[in-house]
Structure 1
Amino acid sequence: MYLKDLKTGQSATVLKINKGHAAERRLFEIGLVPGTRVEVLSRHPFKGPLLLQVGNSRLALGQGIAQMVEVELIPDQDL
């Protein structure tokens, strides 16, 4: 599953960033690395960016970059 596939309100753990993408270093710099938990706060329509909570930071990530980030969904803990 990829970050771009998550719905608003879902959380996941980053598994890996596909190598060779130009944004890989930038993602590392902002803390989006394997093992990091991310939550999708909102999704903009028409393939717009995702607003994410990463640790204590919020960031917007475009769909093109989000499709390079492999994640594992964290099951809903309210069940």
Structure 2
Amino acid sequence: MAVLSSMSPGQRGRVKTIVKGSKLERRLFDIGLAPGVEFTMITRHPFRGPVILQVGNSKIALGRGIADSVEVEFKT
């Protein structure tokens, strides 16, 4: 299974699971990122920097540690 932080800018995906537990899952749900949600990777900053996603009309920035905890499936 791929994780969010492994995606390249421009790739589209769908959230499969969040692996670090219910507290993180709730936090991500509150900002619009939950299992089943589709998104586009906008930017993946170098040196373990944040990733930026487009989810609907919103942009979401996530730290690399959180992005490592989100399992995704790629969309074509």
TM (normalized to structure 2)?
A: 0.89
One-letter amino acid of the counterpart of residue 47, structure 1: R
Gaps of 5+ in 2: none
Give the structure 2 partner of residue 61 of structure 1: 62
Q: Where is the strand percentage greater, Structure 1 or Structure 2?
A: 2
Q: In terms of Rg, which structure is larger?
A: 1
Gaps of 5+ in 1: none
Give the structure 2 partner of residue 52 of structure 1: 53
Distance in 1 (alpha carbons) for counterparts of 2:15 and 2:38: 6
Q: Is the 8 A contact 2:5 2:44 kept in 1?
A: no
Indicate the percent of aligned positions where both proteins have the same amino acid: 52
Distance in 2 (alpha carbons) for counterparts of 1:69 and 1:21: 12
Distance in 2 (alpha carbons) for counterparts of 1:53 and 1:25: 19
Aligned alpha-carbon RMSD (Å):
1.3
Q: Where is the helix percentage greater, Structure 1 or Structure 2?
A: 2
Distance in 2 (alpha carbons) for counterparts of 1:28 and 1:57: 14
Distance in 1 (alpha carbons) for counterparts of 2:35 and 2:63: 19
Query: Which segments of structure 1 move beyond 6 Å, counting only runs of 4 or more?
Result: none
Residues 11-30 of structure 1: pairs in structure 2 closer than 5 A: 11-20=12-21, 22-30=23-31
Tell me by how many angstroms 1:23 deviates: 2.5
Tell me by how many angstroms 1:59 deviates: 1.2
Number of positions where the alignment pairs a residue of Structure 1 with one of Structure 2: 75
